[in-house]
Structure 1
Amino acid sequence: MDPKRIFDLLLSLCALILLTPLFILISVCVKLDSKGPVFYRQTRVGRKKVCFQLIKFRTMCGGADRQGLLTVGDHDRRITRAGYWLRKYKIDELPQLLNILRGEMSFVGPRPEVSKYVALYNPAQQRVLSVRPGITDWASIEYIDESELLARASDPEHFYRTDIIPKKLQQGLKYIDHKSLWTDLHIMLMTLKCIVLKHH
């Protein structure tokens, strides 16, 4: 087992144990706030093009996927009251610790996409599928305000496909070419710093 996987396994297990009380509290809030399941699952394309179910705390009303895959702004009408706060501080991503524990994801790596966007990758860009996808990476830091950028676009879907995806993939390839445990730790700390500074 490589050092990165050992790191992911141990840290995700410890985090899940420590965060269990928080998970219970969030679950209650999600259920009380709106009808539907506590968790939201969506099929994403992972390492070696193997699909898996990415897990998040549900932040939208039921059937939100049928109204589009992209979240446009923090005040997207599909977002629930509890979901607004979960998204604001990226807390909705915490259940992906389970994806990490199962070996489907890593703490750091290119963010996994749905198949309709992966189908747009050219041969060079498909190299991002050679590693486990992550909860965060350089692109997550650069596009921490992604939903706001999409909200300002005249055609969010076109802007995402033609502008954001290529730049995210470029950052993903940059990570792959220079990945190390030290780089992972740096990206994780930078991500936490950006989330804190964004809201202060």
Structure 2
Amino acid sequence: MAKRVFDIVFALFLLTLLFWLIIVSVLMAAIDTHTSGLFIQERIGQFGTKFKIYKVRTIRESFSSVALPISKTGQFLRKFRIDELPQLFNVLKGDMSMVGPRPDVSGYYDLLEGENRKLLELKPGLTSIATIKYTNEDAILKKQADPLVYNDTFIFPDKVKLNLDYYYNHSICGDFRIILETIKVILFKKN
């Protein structure tokens, strides 16, 4: 109950401060990607239920083999994780929490076994210790011969381990520290 209150208060606070930025980002993305500017996708949530996640669109729907699929605006939005801000509405709806394992597409968390399935008891979050550790995940994967195999073999299992540690040790104070660390990493990370 305390975590839900924390989530609502924090999400409302951030929306009050950043709603204008969400609107501007969606408009910029709409112009740059020639779409609505919003990206809505099905993800796995608490207890393995599916929900629709909201993001600012950063990838063009159709692109030539010469063009990059990520728009120029999208590159900027991703760098500062502005594309994730619409998920504050997911937090208000109760689909997500401020802190928890990042929601994934089908085929990952929903297939966990044994003790690892405990992660499905948590609401997915906007950020987590794993998010902080793998803030440069795209760059890591770009260096791999087979990014999907590398993710499935090394990154995802490590995220599960980090998220299990969170499962057993989470607290409101800990969540606040994770949020502050996330802000620090976003603003001051090296490319």
Q: TM-score range by the shorter chain?
A: over 0.9
- Structure 2, unpaired ranges of 5+: none
**d(CA) in 2 for partners of 1:108, 1:144:** 15
Q: 1:197 aligns with which of 177, 180, 188?
A: 188
Identity of counterpart residues, as a percentage? 37
**d(CA) in 2 for partners of 1:46, 1:119:** 9
- Indicate whether 1:30 and 2:21 are aligned: no
Q: 1:101 aligns with which of 92, 95, 117?
A: 92
**d(CA) in 2 for partners of 1:63, 1:134:** 30
- Counterpart of 1:160? 151
1:199 is displaced (CA, Å) by 4.5
Matches within 5 A, 1:104-143: 104-143=95-134
- Counterpart of 1:175? 166
**d(CA) in 1 for partners of 2:111, 2:48:** 13
- Counterpart of 1:68? none
User: Which AA in structure 1 matches 2:159?
Assistant: K
1:28 is displaced (CA, Å) by 1.9
Q: 2:136 aligns with which of 145, 168, 185?
A: 145
User: Which AA in structure 2 matches 1:141?
Assistant: I
- Structure 1, unpaired ranges of 5+: 65-75
1:196 is displaced (CA, Å) by 1.6
**d(CA) in 2 for partners of 1:63, 1:184:** 38
User: Which AA in structure 2 matches 1:157?
Assistant: L
Q: Of the two structures, which has the highest relative contact order with CA contacts closer than 8 Å and spacing of 6 or more?
A: 1
**d(CA) in 2 for partners of 1:27, 1:112:** 21
User: Which AA in structure 1 matches 2:85?
Assistant: L
Query: TM-score, normalised to structure 1's length?
Result: 0.89
1:63 is displaced (CA, Å) by 5.6
Contact 2:29 2:57 survives alignment (8 Å): yes
Comparing 158-167 and 33-42, the one that deviates more: 33-42
Number of aligned residue pairs: give it.
Answer: 188
- Counterpart of 1:67? none
Contact 2:31 2:37 survives alignment (8 Å): no
**d(CA) in 1 for partners of 2:173, 2:10:** 15
1:27 is displaced (CA, Å) by 2.0
Aligned CA-pair RMSD: 1.6
Query: TM-score, normalised to structure 2's length?
Result: 0.93
- Counterpart of 2:43? 44
Contact 2:130 2:159 survives alignment (8 Å): yes
Task: Give the ranges of 4+ consecutive aligned residues of structure 1 lying more than 3 Å apart after TM superposition.
Answer: none
